[in-house]
């Protein structure tokens, strides 16, 4: 029985949400250990801009991707993972002072965009836009979720479509020496389909 459980946990459980030729987006219901190496390798590209904390580990994959209430999607090209986006309940980040200070902390109505990345060689062809659009669409369908928040480099959120508000700015985010802004997207006012694609960015 234990051996069967271990075997099951090694393989990811996913549902294909969108596909176009050799590209597809999957809702990751369970991140299996067989996909850990690809997810970790892709996350390394985030370190320069977002700091070493953005690099995934087996522990953070299990903690965030397999957390109840999380909303993780992966992008595959020819069956290889080339990117991912994951939203986690903001309450999961209770160890972060900025999270506890959010006015919606504890209300169960906010997803924080923990990471968003597409490998550089696959940018510019619409894959990142499709991934972000699927994420926002599914987030808006969750009855209790009214907001999506995230951190981006100062000035980036001005390019976003939708009802966006900058909550605050953080100097020297995660030791990067860069100023980041913490934004909140109001999904409640965006129930109608987005008319414009979300911007192509690395992580929100």
DSSP secondary structure of 46-91: GHHHH-GGGS--HHHIIIIITSTT-EEEEEEETTEEEEEEEEEEGG
Q: Is 127 helix (H, G, I), strand (E, B) or coil?
A: helix
For the chain, 204 residues long, give each residue's pLDDT as a single digit of tens: 444 343 446 888 999 999 988 999 999 999 999 999 999 999 998 988 888 888 999 999 999 999 999 999 999 999 899 999 999 999 999 999 999 999 999 999 999 999 999 999 998 889 999 999 999 999 999 989 999 999 999 999 988 888 999 999 999 888 888 999 999 999 987 554 443 444 333 433
Relative to beta strand 147-153, strand 110-118 is parallel
What is the DSSP code (8-state) at residue 176? S
Handedness of CA 194, 200, 201, 203 (dihedral sign): positive
Instruction: Identify whether the C-beta of residue 152 lies closer than 8 Å to the C-beta of residue 180.
Output: yes
pLDDT tens-digit series, residues 58-106: 999 999 999 999 999 999 999 899 999 999 999 999 999 999 999 999 9
Strand partners, 75: 25, 83
For the chain, which domains are there?
2-186 (3.40.630.30)
């Amino acid at each position: 029985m234990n051996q069967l459980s271990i075997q099951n946990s090694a393989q990811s459980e996913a549902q294909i949400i969108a596909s176009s030729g050799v590209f597809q987006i999957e809702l990751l219901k369970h991140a299996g250990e067989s996909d850990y190496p690809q997810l970790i390798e892709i996350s390394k590209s985030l370190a320069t801009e977002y700091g070493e904390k953005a690099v995934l580990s087996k522990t953070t994959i299990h903690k965030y991707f397999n957390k109840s209430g999380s909303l993780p999607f992966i992008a595959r090209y020819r069956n290889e993972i080339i990117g991912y986006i994951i939203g986690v309940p903001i309450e999961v980040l209770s160890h972060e002072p900025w999270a506890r200070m959010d006015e919606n902390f504890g209300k169960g109505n906010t997803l924080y965009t923990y990471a968003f990345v597409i490998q550089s060689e696959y940018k510019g062809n619409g894959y990142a836009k499709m991934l972000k659009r699927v994420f926002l669409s599914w987030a808006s369908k969750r009855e209790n979720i009214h907001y999506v928040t995230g951190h981006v480099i100062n000035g980036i959120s001005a390019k976003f479509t939708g009802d966006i508000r900058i909550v605050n700015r953080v100097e020297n985010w995660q030791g990067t020496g860069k100023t980041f802004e913490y934004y909140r997207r109001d999904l409640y006012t965006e129930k109608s389909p987005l008319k414009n694609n979300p911007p192509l960015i690395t992580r929100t």
